[in-house]
Amino acid sequence: MVSILTITILSMISATALYVASQNGSTGVQTAAWQQALTGAESGVDRAIAALNTGSWTNWQTVSTGTLPTAEPSPSPAVTATGAPSTNQYNFLPSSQLQMTQTGEGATLVSSWVTVDTAGMSSAQDTSGKQWYRVRSTGRSALSAPGRVSANKLDNILRNTIGLNFSRNGGSTGGVTRTIEVIMQPLTSTIWVRGITAVNWLSLSGGMTIDSFDSSNSFKSTNGLYDAAKRQSHGDIATANSTGSDFRNTSVYGNVAYSGPAIKNTGNVHGTIATPGPATPTAVSAPSWPNGTYFSYSGGLPFTTTSGMTKSQIKVSGDLTVGGGQTLAIVAGKDPSNTPITNFTIWVTGKLTTSGSGIITQDTGISVTWYVGKDITISGSSYQNATGRASNLTVIGYGPTNSKATVSGSATFIGTINAPNYSATISGGGDFDGGIIANDLTMSGGSSFHYDESLNGGANTSVGNYAFASWFEDNADKAHNRSVYNNVTGQTALEQIVY
């Protein structure tokens, strides 16, 4: 009798221990499955962001409806996505394109299905006129048993305390699901994503070098200036129409993108050469300044921006020529309240020309944007940008097609030129530090070009064009069930909650 009683007691202890271990094991499997489903959902968000950033929507489908599905849509019939969705559309990535299988305990399959839509947002609502997107990604962790595999009382209490969605319970089939909703905000972009952008052909001399540096990084520049010993390889070049282009085996430390026929003589390109090229650069236009908002300058020289000028906007009606022995000095001015003016916009409706020993000096701490309505002729030695930063000098040419922009001389020009209609020439053996956009570009005479990566916030190998404006796990079902554990009765009741 004693032996039987001992065996019975030991059996009960063993059964209890086995039950507790089984419940704890099931809880571990369940928790792992929940986490795997969340990881799967996050992987789906990653795929959506990659598609938005690269514009490549391989394996995505476009569905023409403004209502997002609550369950994974059928993968067919499929309409292949060719770009980001527009209003009343969503792009859909089937779970067959994003899944992982494994053997052993726990979930045997983790998969995700993803949608991208505009969520009723328009580009007009963004200060930069860019489109926002909503990404919804559902990760599914398949279990051989229902997702709610534990009956642990403590587990019940914890689950109700933190209010987990019933979908984490899974069901008799399908396992555990978790959904993430992310709002993607477009980042403020810059036109200076590369050093050289041309609408049409590019003609390089062969004896020059195109590379990059970063004036904001001491490891990639010296005192903010280009240093050949710290050369970077982001001197990227692109053309929207490569017809007639010839690099003449110029050393290019960067990538080349083009549309049209293959560019000739690219043997010294130390980067990728790929097609297609960029979209045609956006045309620029003249400012629109109401009377009384600018200072009228006749063009008489010598001139200094402190000479009776009280506004940051200066308009020159006609040509501005800085000839031999003449000087135009751009220094801090004073507004009517005696506040220093350090950011100037100078609008020249005609030509901007520096010639002979004529000099334009731009003082340290001054930023200048030029708008020029006709030809632009500047030599590196005649425009002295004492700030040493390309971001502080912008020359915008809004003239008609076949206008000309020439940068010459043996000294370094530091700045940017944005002139999509202009036929541009860089010559004379000097360097150009900054960035240029032109209709076509000829570089000769041993001149070299150094793209300043700081124009694009650092190296143009940025992680993307979108950032999270919001990220949350979507538990907002209109109705769902939860188990409520009663500490008094020790029973579990089913309660339905309606939002």
Whether residue 207 sits in one domain with residue 58: no
List own/partner pairs for 305-309 with CB under 8 A and 24 or more apart: 305/329, 305/330, 305/331, 305/332, 305/333, 305/341, 305/344, 306/331, 306/332, 306/333, 306/334, 309/333
Is residue 200 within 8 A of residue 440, CB to CB? The reply is yes
Q: Say yes or no to pLDDT of 28 above 80.
A: no
Asked if residue 474 is part of any domain, the answer here is yes
Asked if residue 409 is part of any domain, the answer here is yes
Q: What is the pTM of this model?
A: 0.61
Whether residue 315 sits in one domain with residue 282: yes
Mean pLDDT for 425-440 is 93
Asked if residue 60 is part of any domain, the answer here is yes
Whether residue 489 sits in one domain with residue 362: no
> For residue 62, what are its two tokens?
């476009």
Look at residue 332 in the predicted model and tell me its pLDDT: 86
Asked if residue 408 is part of any domain, the answer here is yes
Mean pLDDT for 226-239 is 95
Question: What HEC string does 440-458 produce?
Answer: EEEECCCCEEEEEHHHHCC
Look at residue 404 in the predicted model and tell me its pLDDT: 97
Whether residue 153 sits in one domain with residue 177: yes
Q: Which of 185-189, 360-364, 440-444 has the lowest mean pLDDT?
A: 185-189
* Beta bridge pairs of residue 346: 314, 370
Range of the domain at 171: 29-187+464-498
Q: Say yes or no to pLDDT of 5 above 70.
A: yes
Whether residue 220 sits in one domain with residue 100: no
Asked if residue 12 is part of any domain, the answer here is no
Asked if residue 23 is part of any domain, the answer here is no
Question: How high is the mean pLDDT of the chain?
Answer: 83
Look at residue 499 in the predicted model and tell me its pLDDT: 27
Mean pLDDT for 85-112 is 84
Q: Which of 422, 440, 456 is the last residue of a domain?
A: 456
Whether residue 158 sits in one domain with residue 214: no
Whether residue 215 sits in one domain with residue 129: no
Whether residue 164 sits in one domain with residue 59: yes
pLDDT band at 100 (very low <50, low <70, confident <90, very high): confident
Is residue 328 within 8 A of residue 322, CB to CB? The reply is yes
Is residue 242 within 8 A of residue 259, CB to CB? The reply is yes
Q: Which of 126-130, 169-173, 297-301, 303-307 has the lowest mean pLDDT?
A: 169-173
Whether residue 425 sits in one domain with residue 365: yes
Which residue bears the tokens 């430390």?
253
| H helix count then E strand count, the chain | 2, 34
> For residue 150, what are its two tokens?
């534990």
Whether residue 402 sits in one domain with residue 290: yes
> For residue 356, what are its two tokens?
């002979």
Q: Say yes or no to pLDDT of 422 above 60.
A: yes
Give the count of domains, the chain.
Answer: 2
Whether residue 389 sits in one domain with residue 245: yes
Whether residue 42 sits in one domain with residue 168: yes
- Rounded distance, CA 232 to CA 194, Å? 13
Q: Say yes or no to pLDDT of 292 above 80.
A: yes
Asked if residue 437 is part of any domain, the answer here is yes
Look at residue 489 in the predicted model and tell me its pLDDT: 43
Which residue bears the tokens 């209109």?
478
Look at residue 493 in the predicted model and tell me its pLDDT: 42
Q: Which of 440, 456, 472 is the last residue of a domain?
A: 456
Is residue 268 within 8 A of residue 352, CB to CB? The reply is no
Asked if residue 13 is part of any domain, the answer here is no
- Rounded distance, CA 322 to CA 88, Å? 56
> For residue 369, what are its two tokens?
């944007």
Condensed to tens digits (0 to 9), the pLDDT of residues 160-192 reads 444 444 444 454 445 778 899 999 888 766 889
